[in-house]
Structure 1
Amino acid sequence: MSQASATRTAKKPRPEMKRLLLVDDHPIMRHGLVQLISAEPDLEVCAEAGNAADGMVAVTSRKPDLVIADLTLPDKHGLEFIKDIRALHPDLQILVLSMHDESLYAERALRAGARGYLMKETAAENLIHAVRRVLGGDIYLSDKMASVMLELLSGQRKSAASAGIDRLTDRELEVLQLIGSGRGTRQIADQLHVSVRTIDAHRAHIKDKLQLPDGNALVRYAVRWVENQQGTV
């Protein structure tokens, strides 16, 4: 090798490393993501967290470039976690990686402040592409979901928010999910750090929006809905 070639080789710049924080309550899932991300020369996992509280600590202490977060966390719903991050770190990019149906949650995640939504079933094929899109300042959605969003923006499709479960607020949807998972009113109040009266108000609003006659009908609906969500995974 000539001296000039050796000089060019020596001066070849190393790629700038982008630091990623993983927030997911499944250690096996996080391990798989670490292996996938670590294979990229310019990406590294700087920290992992199994819940929202630890995730917020890691955001502050490790200063990642991107947070990859699940929506199902043991101490706080992922949508609320996203809102917390955006309130304290408005420039931090967030990519949701979830088992939940994108048709129901992708738009909510973007409204909360995320810059992308990826379903776990397609993570192996699409995660790195999604990460690079979001780090590059773009929004990542599946082709199907992107078409839906464009149709909504262009007025060619009516918003789903006018009917059914899509009329629920993010908090009401979270309460519905907890009801369907077998939580009682007091348990839900304790988990969400609100009063029982607040949960009762959410239950009443959910019943009205879903046109359910009473509390028993609400519980039956919630249980079926949670089972259907799990069945799509």
Structure 2
Amino acid sequence: MPRIVIIDDHPSTREGLISRIDLEADLQVCGQADDVNDALELIRRQQPDLAVIDLSLKTGSGIDLIRMLKADKLKTHVLVWSMYEDTLYAERALRAGAMGYINKVNATDAIVDAIRAVLKGDVYLSPEMSAKVLHRVVHGKDMLRKIPSEALSDRELQTFELIGRGMKTADIASSMQLSPKTIETYRSRIKEKLELDDMAALAREAVHWVIENRE
């Protein structure tokens, strides 16, 4: 019987997903965690067939966790489920090592299908995202280079989002467990990559992006 772990920082969300999976006679949840370190320890210990991972965890990023699992060369498949639209993070998650991405809004009916697809070794994406990925392969990425989700690195995008949520440099540094100097470096890189005139323009752009892509 395939064994699954659930990594999400909301207890009620984890319990809801566990209850849904438990309805399937041939699937078994063998553990759960809410942050990166506990999740990594759990997966190393349990060696599950599949980890369902949220992008926003109690401490750290789901993307970072996926990279750690890949670096450990663990055989556990990864399915990302998140409140973020797949157009923002799906390709990023796949590049990190995930084999599927599903939006929580659409997960009620599709989550079991997504789990079964990834367990078989297939890549699971929404039809719209699959078409976009294929279009990107054929036509390249230049046309979307200035979109934050395309132009920025994972850490830069996380910083950009937190700026858009009104957080100051010190608070962002604390949240990301980095130094304020590193966050200032990210700010400068973001400004350059998005071709913004100054930090005020960066803040406005970040707020606008968060409003457009809010959970």
Partner of 2:146: 163
| TM-superposed deviation, 1:162 | 1.9
Could you tell me which of 119, 128, 134 is aligned with 2:112? 128
| TM-superposed deviation, 1:69 | 0.5
The SS at the match of 1:100 is coil
**Aligned partner of 1:28: which letter?**
S
d(CA) in 1 for partners of 2:115, 2:87: 20
d(CA) in 2 for partners of 1:175, 1:150: 29
Could you tell me which of 201, 204, 212 is aligned with 1:217? 201
State the TM-score, normalized to the length of structure 1. Answer: 0.86
Unaligned runs of 5+ in 2: none
**Aligned partner of 1:164: which letter?**
I
| TM-superposed deviation, 1:156 | 4.1
User: Taking structure 1 as reference, are residues 97 and 160 closer, same or farther at Cα in structure 2, changes over 3 Å only?
Assistant: farther
State the TM-score, normalized to the length of structure 2. Answer: 0.92
Q: Does 1:18 align with 2:2?
A: yes
The total of aligned residue pairs comes to 214
Does the 8 A contact of 2:47 with 2:74 survive in 1? no
Q: Within 5 A, what are the aligned runs for 1:80-229?
A: 80-153=64-137, 155-156=138-139, 158=141, 161-165=144-148, 166-229=150-213
| TM-superposed deviation, 1:55 | 1.0
| TM-superposed deviation, 1:160 | 5.2
The SS at the match of 1:132 is helix
| TM-superposed deviation, 1:50 | 1.5
Deviation readout 1:205-226 (Å, 9 max, x if unpaired)? 1011122222222222222222
Could you tell me which of 13, 27, 38 is aligned with 1:29? 13
Identity across matched positions, percent: 40
**Aligned partner of 1:37: which letter?**
I
**What is the aligned-residue RMSD (CA, Å)?**
1.6
d(CA) in 2 for partners of 1:67, 1:89: 14
**Aligned partner of 2:3: which letter?**
R
d(CA) in 1 for partners of 2:170, 2:55: 22
d(CA) in 1 for partners of 2:171, 2:151: 24
| TM-superposed deviation, 1:95 | 0.3
Deviation readout 1:77-116 (Å, 9 max, x if unpaired)? 2211211121124422100001101112110000010000
| TM-superposed deviation, 1:51 | 1.6
Does the 8 A contact of 2:161 with 2:210 survive in 1? yes
Q: Does 1:63 align with 2:47?
A: yes
